[in-house]
């Protein structure tokens, strides 16, 4: 039993004809379904945040990255990141994530671990599962019961200029006295 068909010799061509390949009856090009791009399902529940506009970049839980993040847009970290972060947007450090480096962002939400200083933020929120080792300089700062912080907090002294300047030191307890 032969698996191929012998080519028929054509007297008008000096080149041999290629063998016919075995094929199944396939639908024509117009009948092919349009491929649909599948996106991976995101299993961890996201941290509730305020309405955001613009794009958001995400570092997944299984990733370990070392470097620098700069630019405009929002960043959500669920894995591990070592380096400085400077974004014109929001930074969210999810529960279980670890970040080592200085942070500059408009809003910083911490549910994981951050080791580094936060500078010139409009708002910093330390959630119940969050831990911060470093100093905070922010216009507003909220601390949830059960969170941990080791460092100095300077907040509430915004003089109306861009960023936070002329800040007086707080007691680090998260209470504005």
Q: What is the pLDDT along the chain (177 residues), one digit of tens a residue?
A: 555 555 555 555 455 555 555 444 445 544 445 555 444 444 444 454 444 456 889 999 999 999 999 999 999 999 999 999 999 999 999 999 999 999 999 999 999 999 999 999 999 999 999 999 999 999 999 999 999 999 999 999 855 544 433 334 444 444 444
Q: Which two tokens stand for residue 80?
A: 């591990």
pLDDT of residue 41: 45
pLDDT of residue 60: 93
pLDDT of residue 55: 85
pLDDT of residue 50: 46
pTM confidence score: 0.61
Q: At CB < 8 A and 24+ separation, what contacts does 129-137 make? A: 129/95, 130/93, 134/102, 137/164, 137/167
Task: Provide the strand spans (E) within 54-106.
Answer: 56-59, 64-72, 74-77, 80-88, 90-93, 98-100, 103-104
């Amino acid at each position: 039993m032969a698996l191929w068909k012998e080519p028929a010799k054509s007297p008008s061509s000096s080149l041999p004809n290629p063998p016919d390949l075995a094929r199944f009856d396939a639908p024509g090009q117009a009948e092919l379904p349009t491929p649909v791009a599948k996106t991976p399902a995101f299993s961890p529940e996201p941290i509730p945040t305020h309405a955001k506009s613009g794009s958001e970049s995400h570092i997944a839980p299984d990733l370990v990255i070392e470097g620098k993040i700069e630019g405009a847009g929002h960043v959500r970290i669920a894995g591990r990141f070592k380096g400085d972060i400077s974004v014109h947007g929001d930074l969210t450090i999810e529960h279980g994530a670890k970040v080592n480096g200085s942070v500059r962002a408009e809003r910083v939400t911490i549910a994981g671990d951050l080791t580094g200083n936060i500078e010139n933020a409009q708002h910093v929120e330390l959630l119940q599962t969050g831990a911060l080792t470093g100093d905070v300089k922010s216009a507003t700062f909220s601390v949830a019961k059960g969170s941990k912080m080791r460092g100095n907090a300077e907040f509430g002294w915004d003089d109306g200029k861009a960023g936070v300047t002329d800040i007086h030191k707080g007691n680090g307890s998260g209470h504005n006295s």
